Structure 1
């Protein structure tokens, strides 16, 4: 098997309509970038035909791979599994709804090629252009302020689902990441910074997808995740 330079992962749960666009657009963008790649769809217990759609793509294009789970694992566990099954030197993932404009993919990958251990899009830099509801904007800014305050991060945006890592670096970080779901994103970049690694963020164009809402239990859960990580880093280690 020829070496694969880039692994791109699309975490998916009941996202068949988004996949119909995300797979061909990803293949086009990656082909234009000009490196060998694999596109892994980490499908997490979907019941809407997502699995069957990806299986059709597998038959048409050997660069597309399905990782299916019968039961819901959560975003973090799905990414851990995809990393274990990946072959790329660079490990990249982004949200299947392409909320972050895919035109930024070359910059994301090039930053890692040029020496960054981790690169991430940012919705909260002055140059970023975002379209989203006021409640999500307020929740996002509040959350990221707490991450910087409690966990010592220098980044502006920790949860943007548009990230790339040197695969070897991420393999070393994963055993220290506890979150099974959304907080995985934050843990990975906080731990990378604490290890003294080069983490770069850059402004992106980002558009809120349809049907996304802020729920109290999500806000509460993410706040508790921050406190648990703070406890782990500052109390348990002593």
Structure 2
């Protein structure tokens, strides 16, 4: 248990660092400052693509994404604006060069590159990209292009059914989380009473209401013109893309050992996060801006199981989550190894200890997160 606590402590250090990053301009040696997700959105959609040694697969993924997004802009009109944020997680190949080529062709307003000096893990890369997003909606997608990009519209349809437009549900959820975490000395450092007293600070900083991306981004247009947003709170919601409907076919193709490990992992996820989402690891997820700001600012895990951590956070904060079936194709070049499964199981144990058993990872208010960013 002592070793687990030491790892938990070390993982929380990154959260205490200021939320800062810079963009890479391929034609300039001067880094470009990033926007922050706590700022008002200026795009309808941000697509965050974590990439580690993805030189061979990144190009086709970007081609598919840009083709779809341009076609959709032509279909919906100029209010549908977008950006692709590629987060190079310390790659040792030509991943950054591939991204730079797309920046030169499409411009830094459309394609952006964030570089991490050393490999920190997919969770860290996704967090950095999300915190620099400009979109009303924020899409996480894997660099391998395993999910058909057009299935974004399926995620949007799922979000439309569950989005919570006010902060009441969020306040409700964090109080419920406090009641489970705040009992005893190992709780949230003051318990439920202190958290209730501080709930007046639990406000999202001026996020315009996110209109359906299917219908265009009217609030982004209003924000750009200086008009006051209709709903300064912004909606809450997360859509998890899912391959669970492909389970039977996948079982027949995998080795008995891999099936055993997969079932074991799913059991651990169920014990940690419940059965709300059957497939937490699909790299295709859509967040409203407000949900992304709260969840990723509180995220600690830097490698494999950050998806499960986000689900646990959403459960505790009362953020609605839906699971949406998407088209998925297995792409050669997976970075999952046997040791990865062991590390993932260990990360699930950390989540259980840090959030549910000891409360060593408190959930920070949006007011506190905003101060850290400044």
Aligned residues: 238
Decide whether the 8 Å contact of 2:155 with 2:239 is kept in 1.
yes
TM-score of the aligned structures, taking structure 2 as reference length: 0.58
What is the root-mean-square deviation in Å for CA atoms of aligned residues?
Answer: 2.5
1:14 paired with 2:134, answer no
Higher strand share: 1
Q: Distance in 2 between matches of 1:127 and 1:204?
A: 13
2:245 to 125, 147, 150: 125
Q: Distance in 2 between matches of 1:110 and 1:202?
A: 9
Counterpart in the other structure of 2:228: none
Q: Deviations over 1:108-131 (max 9, x none)?
A: 234335554100111113799759
1:226 paired with 2:271, answer no
TM-score of the aligned structures, taking structure 1 as reference length: 0.89
Give the 3 Å change call, closer, same or farther, for CA 51–199 of structure 1 in structure 2.
Answer: same
Q: Distance in 2 between matches of 1:136 and 1:33?
A: 39
Aligned pairs for 1:103-142 (under 5 A) are 103-112=150-159, 115-116=162-163, 117-125=237-245, 133-134=254-255, 135-142=257-264
Worse-superposed segment, 212-221 or 66-75: 212-221
1:162 to 276, 281, 284: 284
Decide whether the 8 Å contact of 2:43 with 2:134 is kept in 1.
yes
Worse-superposed segment, 112-121 or 188-197: 112-121
Where does the alignment leave 5 or more consecutive residues of structure 2 unmatched?
Answer: 1-39, 74-79, 164-236, 361-374
Where does the alignment leave 5 or more consecutive residues of structure 1 unmatched?
Answer: none
Q: Distance in 2 between matches of 1:17 and 1:48?
A: 9
Counterpart in the other structure of 2:269: 147
Worse-superposed segment, 86-95 or 106-115: 106-115
Give the 3 Å change call, closer, same or farther, for CA 13–161 of structure 1 in structure 2.
Answer: same
Q: Look at both structures and tell me which one has the larger radius of gyration over its CA atoms.
A: 2
Q: Deviations over 1:59-117 (max 9, x none)?
A: 11121111122211211111111122211111111111111222312212343355541
Counterpart in the other structure of 1:79: 126
Counterpart in the other structure of 1:56: 101
Decide whether the 8 Å contact of 2:140 with 2:283 is kept in 1.
yes
Deviation, structure 1 residue 157: 0.7
Deviating runs (4+, > 4 A) in structure 1?
126-132, 135-138
Deviation, structure 1 residue 216: 2.8
SS class of match (2:324): strand
Q: Distance in 2 between matches of 1:126 and 1:105?
A: 18
Q: Distance in 2 between matches of 1:130 and 1:19?
A: 24
Give the 3 Å change call, closer, same or farther, for CA 133–207 of structure 1 in structure 2.
Answer: farther
SS class of match (1:206): coil
Give the 3 Å change call, closer, same or farther, for CA 149–143 of structure 1 in structure 2.
Answer: same
Give the 3 Å change call, closer, same or farther, for CA 19–213 of structure 1 in structure 2.
Answer: closer
